[in-house]
Amino acid sequence: MNNKLNLVELEGISDSINAETESQRLASLSSITGKATNEFNKWRQDILNNIALLTIIIDFAEDQELDKNKMLFNSVDTSIRELDKEIRNYLFKVRSSEILLKGIQLVLLGPPNAGKSSILNILANKEAAIVSDIAGTTRDVIDIPLEIQGYKVVLGDTAGIRSLDNADTIEKEGIKRAKAKSLSADFIIVVLDPTNNDVLDLKDHLKELIKLDKKLVIVLNKQDLHEGDQVKSQEKQ
Ligand SMILES: Nc1nc2c(ncn2[C@@H]2O[C@H](COP(=O)(O)OP(=O)(O)O)[C@@H](O)[C@H]2O)c(=O)[nH]1
Ligand SMILES: [Mg+2]
């Protein structure tokens, strides 16, 4: 109202106040310092210039040399292509900073009893999920926000993927949610227990994730229980 700050700068201040991590605070700076405002103003000016040049062509084309019209048109063409590139770059950056705000969605996925909940508890540094040797203990998706090297990461624990034939109604729903969660994740940690070969039911879902180009890493858990040889025979399958 007093012409001191515009809406973009105010949004930046709000983002800065609400920042949970260093990377989120840094992302808010381009709005506060007026960098984003300058960029928007430049686009506005470029668009106005192009409209003016196109108006000249429309209104006076017949009175001018053909070469001159061509020159004006080429200059508009170049400017619009440049604008298009700049706006696309900006949108790409916005999408990246949206990930910073929402947090990187990291999901633990695997068969029951592989040790997913144990890993979640260690990374979260608290007993957030129930760990037990009863298959099908975790049903709901458990999301724990973490800060890893300045980045907000939301770590999700999921129900173990196994054949629906052995699962009751609630576990079936849990398995459905686990699959959906991994489809929307930014990064998936597939936890396997190499002493247990029961990964058949997970295989199809992994194939789907790989087809979708999902980033995932496979963790062979329970190192204390297996010898090198057993891990090797698992890798061959
Ligand atoms: N020996 C051994 N047992 C583990 C390890 N990690 C988890 N467990 C055990 O494996 C069982 C299943 O663990 P849990 O974290 O509930 O697995 P989830 O079903 O994948 O969530 C529990 O009895 C854990 O104590 C490990 O690294 N070594
Ligand atoms: Mg679990």
Q: Is 122 in the pocket of ligand 1 (CB under 6 A)?
A: no
Task: Pick the range with the lowest mean pLDDT from 69-78, 80-89, 133-142, 170-179.
Answer: 133-142
Residues with CB in 5 Å of ion ligand 2: 116-117, 138
Q: Which of the 8 DSSP states describes residue 195?
A: T
User: What is the band of 237 on the pLDDT scale with cuts at 50, 70, 90?
Assistant: very low
Q: Which residue has the tokens 């459905």?
A: 176
Closest-CA residue, ligand 1 atom 1, reads 222
Q: Domain check: are 230 and 146 in the same one?
A: yes
Closest-CA residue, ligand 1 atom 16, reads 131
Tokens representing 44?
């506005």
Q: Domain check: are 62 and 153 in the same one?
A: no
- State the residue range of the domain holding 86: 7-101
d(CA 8, CA 90) in angstroms, rounded, equals: 14
Q: Which of 153, 77, 90, 142 is nearest to 116 (CA)?
A: 142
What are residue 143's DSSP bridge partners? Answer: 156
Q: In which element (H, E) is residue 70 found? A: helix 66-102
Each residue's pLDDT tens digit, 113-140: 999 999 999 999 989 898 998 888 888 8
Q: Which of 80, 83, 180, 103 is nearest to 140 (CA)?
A: 180
Tokens representing 162?
């196994």
Whether residue 227 is predicted with pLDDT greater than 60 in this model: the reply is yes
Closest-CA residue, ligand 1 atom 2, reads 222
Q: Domain check: are 18 and 113 in the same one?
A: no
What is the residue type of 71? M
> SS3 of 153, please?
strand
**How far does the centroid of ligand 1 lie from the alpha carbon of residue 106, in Å?**
19
Q: Domain check: are 144 and 224 in the same one?
A: yes
Q: Domain check: are 89 and 119 in the same one?
A: no
11 alpha-carbon distance from chain centroid: 22
* More confident position, 86 or 164: 86
